[in-house]
């Protein structure tokens, strides 16, 4: 389970470019926590995935929340006295405060001013703002734009609607050989923001396409959710089945140029926490592991105390720690194909650990077995995957006492999990190791 295997399975020369192209296609859509922007986004993902769109009606009680009215927007602008659009939703959807109620009015600049939001400290950027749970309206514009507005009368229009509709989310189930699940989730509710939502969507989409083509042990449930209310809605509707979730990852902020960051689950010692820490350390690229805090993305909901699921969050630079965060600077140029590819490779490496970790027994534990006699040095010399060696085999054999998992071996040896796994596979092939659970069924006579 790695990037090369994915390229082969999908016939994709450059997964980074493919993910960036998907982000570019989704970028102009005006997403929010409800509405047609989310449906159009999921509709595009559905073109090559067995994605199911769920619609949950406005007013539905979900845990402590209620599904809100559905918000849609067709157009919005501020026109000056000459009829010129000085602020135009069609040019950038961030210009309208999300969930703005409809407005059609003429007003002076002084009257309009409290409705205009800019950032004096980032004068060229337009901020991203919402008013989800309070009837309000407003516009966001760059501080330079705001300062260039002349006194006088303006025509203001927000052609939006707030109606009884529904909340839409997407779900894919990719069955494995066990019904136990790995949960992957990303948010789909931000409008034209690339790192903060499109990068996670693009990585989850590419992962799902790959997992749909190759066999895997776990069943994967991949969720495309409006942040917070979407996760709460999904949890409310699936609370009886959460016991099947063994591991989980929330994906977000995967396209910027910072190093990878893994935020631990609330449990802190879940298998996914150990797997991610091992992968980031082995990569040697300055990846960071941080403790859980009850803030951030939907790990907040999955890790609320009543669920306490083993779900961490995989990202590059965490939210709020890059100046482009929640601004027009988080655009398609801000996310790079190479960073998306590196994030996907990291995700695959974590999943490889979860897929293949297990406890194996050395069937010849008294003294070292003779490796040369069994052709293992030849196999090592012929190997194409290149990440296992004599040390991987010696560690796998030495800790193959039924008490250590492969991840334990990798952590203690400081060697990559993939190498320990492939060395163990080679040792199994020549009868030197066997899964601890299968030992009763294995003949050990020829040690």
Least Å from the CB of residue 251 to Zn ion: 13
Nearer to Zn ion, 278 or 300 (CB): 300
Nearer to Zn ion, 197 or 413 (CB): 197
Q: Which residue is nearest to Zn ion (CB)?
A: 196
Least Å from the CB of residue 226 to Zn ion: 11
Q: How many residues belong to the site for Zn ion (CB under 5 A)?
A: 1
User: Does the protein bind Zn ion through residue 299 (CB under 5 A)?
Assistant: no
Residues 6+ apart with CB under 8 A from 309: 183, 242, 245, 248, 265, 302, 303
Nearer to Zn ion, 216 or 316 (CB): 316
Least Å from the CB of residue 132 to Zn ion: 12
**CA dist., res. 117 & res. 140, Å (int):** 5
| Sequence-ordered alpha helix ranges (H) in 387-441 | 390-398, 406-413, 417-429
DSSP string, 355-390: HH--EEEES--SS---TGGGTHHHHHHH-SS----H
Which residues in 90-149 contact Zn ion (CB under 5 A)? none
Query: Residue for token digits 């250590």?
Result: 404
Least Å from the CB of residue 302 to Zn ion: 17
Nearer to Zn ion, 118 or 327 (CB): 327
CB count in 10 Å sphere of residue 46: 16
DSSP state of 438: G
Least Å from the CB of residue 254 to Zn ion: 13
| Sequence-ordered alpha helix ranges (H) in 244-334 | 271-283, 299-302
Least Å from the CB of residue 190 to Zn ion: 5
Distances (CA, A) of 377 to 267, 369, 383, 391: 41, 13, 10, 12
Which residues in 187-206 contact Zn ion (CB under 5 A)? 196
Q: Cβ-count burial of 395 within 10 angstroms (0-12 exposed, 13-18 middle, 19+ buried)?
A: buried
Nearer to Zn ion, 187 or 205 (CB): 187
Least Å from the CB of residue 288 to Zn ion: 20
Nearer to Zn ion, 301 or 424 (CB): 301
Nearest 10 degrees: Cα torsion 108, 111, 115, 121: 80
Query: Residue for token digits 């490889």?
Result: 352
Least Å from the CB of residue 298 to Zn ion: 11
Give rounded-to-5 percent helix, strand, coil for the chain. 35, 25, 40
- Sign of the alpha-carbon dihedral angle for 403, 407, 411, 414: positive
**CA dist., res. 321 & res. 402, Å (int):** 44
Backbone dihedral angles phi then psi of residue 136, each to the nearest 5 degrees: -160, 170
Nearer to Zn ion, 196 or 355 (CB): 196
Nearer to Zn ion, 187 or 247 (CB): 187
Least Å from the CB of residue 209 to Zn ion: 25
Query: Residue for token digits 């650990």?
Result: 353
Nearer to Zn ion, 171 or 196 (CB): 196
Least Å from the CB of residue 335 to Zn ion: 14
Least Å from the CB of residue 104 to Zn ion: 30
Helices 3-10 & 15-26 angle (0-180, nearest 10): 70
Nearer to Zn ion, 70 or 196 (CB): 196
Closest CA to 160 of 112, 60, 89, 87: 89
Token output for 1:
């389970």
**CA dist., res. 222 & res. 251, Å (int):** 10
Nearer to Zn ion, 98 or 312 (CB): 98
Binding residues for Zn ion, per CB under 5 A? 196
């Amino acid at each position: 389970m790695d990037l090369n295997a994915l390229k082969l399975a999908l016939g994709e020369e450059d997964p980074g470019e493919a993910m960036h192209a998907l982000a570019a296609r989704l970028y102009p859509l005006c997403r929010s926590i409800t509405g047609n922007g989310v449906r159009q986004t999921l509709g595009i993902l559905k073109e090559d995935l067995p994605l199911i769109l769920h619609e949950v009606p406005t007013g539905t009680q979900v845990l402590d929340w209620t599904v809100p009215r559905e918000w849609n927007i067709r157009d919005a602008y501020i026109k000056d006295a000459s009829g010129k659009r000085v602020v135009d939703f069609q040019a950038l959807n961030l210009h309208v405060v999300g969930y703005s109620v409809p407005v059609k009015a003429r007003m002076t600049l002084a009257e309009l001013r409290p409705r205009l939001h800019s950032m004096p400290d980032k004068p060229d950027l337009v901020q991203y703002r919402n008013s989800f749970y309070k009837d309000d309206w407003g516009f966001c514009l760059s501080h330079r734009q705001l300062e260039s507005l002349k006194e006088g009368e303006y025509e203001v229009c927000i052609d939006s609607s707030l109606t009884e509709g529904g909340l839409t989310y997407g779900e894919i189930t990719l069955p494995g050989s066990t019904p136990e699940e790995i949960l992957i989730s990303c948010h789909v509710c931000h409008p034209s923001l690339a790192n903060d939502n499109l990068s996670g969507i693009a990585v989850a989409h590419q992962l799902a396409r790959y997992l749909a083509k190759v066999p895997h042990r776990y069943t994967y449930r991949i969720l495309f959710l409006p942040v917070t209310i979407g996760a709460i809605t999904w949890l409310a509707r699936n609370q009886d089945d959460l016991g099947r979730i063994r591991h989980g990852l929330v994906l977000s902020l995967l396209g910027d140029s910072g190093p990878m960051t893994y935020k631990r689950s609330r449990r802190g010692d879940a298998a996914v926490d150990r797997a991610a820490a091992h992968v980031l350390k082995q990569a040697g690229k300055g990846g960071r592991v941080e403790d859980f805090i009850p803030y951030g993305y939907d790990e907040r909901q999955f890790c609320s105390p009543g669920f306490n699921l083993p779900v961490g969050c995989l990202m590059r630079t965490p939210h709020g720690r890059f100046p482009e965060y929640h601004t027009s600077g988080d655009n398609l140029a801000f996310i790079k194909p190479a960073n998306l590819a590196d994030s996907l490779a990291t995700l695959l490496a974590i999943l490889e650990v979860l897929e293949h970790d297990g406890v194996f027994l050395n069937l010849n534990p008294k003294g070292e077995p003779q490796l040369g006699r069994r052709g293992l040095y030849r196999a090592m010399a012929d190997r194409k995957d290149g990440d296992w060696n004599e040390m991987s085999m010696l560690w796998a054999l030495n800790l193959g006492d039924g008490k250590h998992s492969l991840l334990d071996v990798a952590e203690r040896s400081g060697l990559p999990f993939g190498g320990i796994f492939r060395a163990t596979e080679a040792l199994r092939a020549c009868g030197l190791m066997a899964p601890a659970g299968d030992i009763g069924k294995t003949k050990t006579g020829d040690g």
